[in-house]
A = this chain, B = another copy of it.
Amino acid sequence: MDARPIGVLDSGLGGLTAVRRLTHIMPSEDIIYFGDTGRVPYGPRSKETILKYAKQDIAFLRTFDIKAIIVACGTVSSAALELISGEYDIPIIGVVRSAAMRAAALTKNKKIGVIATQGTVASGAYTRVIGEYLKDAGTVEQACPLLVPLVENGRFQKGDIVAETVVREYLEPVREKGVDTLILGCTHYPLLYDIIADCMGDTALVDSGAESAEYARTILKMTEKQAPAGRQGRISYYVSDSPENFIKYASQFLGGECVHDAGYVDIEKF
């Protein structure tokens, strides 16, 4: 048993899709969430800058006595995690490995598609990690730089002609490769689930944020670090820009659940 909280970090709001799954499958865990809303998005930035920001985000989370960190940001998980996870004495769980394992288990024809930010695709991390679990996998990675701005502007409903057109453009070449499994490699993308599912027919969709929560549960169980059952976990939110905007838009990512309070962090100090 270990009652210490789990830290969750993201460049902004997308990581809340991991929090949503965490609270569903491990309701007694305390969670400290940090969203770097003052510097979002990470996707288009260079590897050096992503690494620098990720280290600051982790340094802030470690001011709390946490037992593990979920990096619920596809860009950090792919560009920086392998470089930094060895530096810490607690488990650092990323979305890439979590989603890659699930996709490798799900695929029948060994053709897996990945949609993600430019940073994630440029890193080639998904192809590399999927290859660890499935030697002869055919992985197709597609950068989708406009999907985060679309989601952040509330344009993710079916019937939105702009969102549907952009998603179709990005997915068409992936679909044509005959993938039977598609990883949503950015934690913003689950909000576009319906539009993506429409485009992809009966392809299995893997939600990388949700998978990171599932993987965290496995790790905590194996190491006997779960919180005592029966209690109600508490979630604390911190952001690096105005908490008002975060509070306003958080519920879209939490499936309707509201955030009532969030603290401001001057992340450049870390």
Q: Which residues of A contact B (CB under 8 A)?
A: 37-39, 44-46, 48-49, 145-146, 149-150, 152-153, 155, 161-162, 165-166, 169, 240-242, 244-245, 268
Contact = CB atoms under 8 A, between A and B. Distances in A.
Contacts of A44: 152, 245
B46 A242 contact: yes
Contacts of A152: 44, 145
Given A37-B45, A146-B162, A162-B169, 20 more contacts: A38-B45, A39-B39, A44-B245, A45-B241, A45-B242, A46-B241, A46-B244, A49-B240, A49-B241, A145-B149, A145-B152, A146-B149, A146-B150, A146-B155, A149-B149, A161-B165, A162-B165, A162-B166, A165-B165, A268-B268
Please name the 3 residue pairs, one residue from A and one from B, whose CB atoms are nearest each other, closest first: A46-B242, A149-B149, A268-B268
A268 B38 CA distance: 12
Identical copies in the complex? 2
Contacts of A45: 37-38, 241-242
Nearest to A53: B38
Contacts of A161: 165
Contacts of A146: 149-150, 153, 155, 162
A244 B46 CA distance: 9
Contacts of A153: 145-146
A37 B244 CA distance: 25
A165 B150 CA distance: 14
Given A153-B145, A153-B146, A165-B161, A242 B39 contact: no
B46 A245 contact: yes
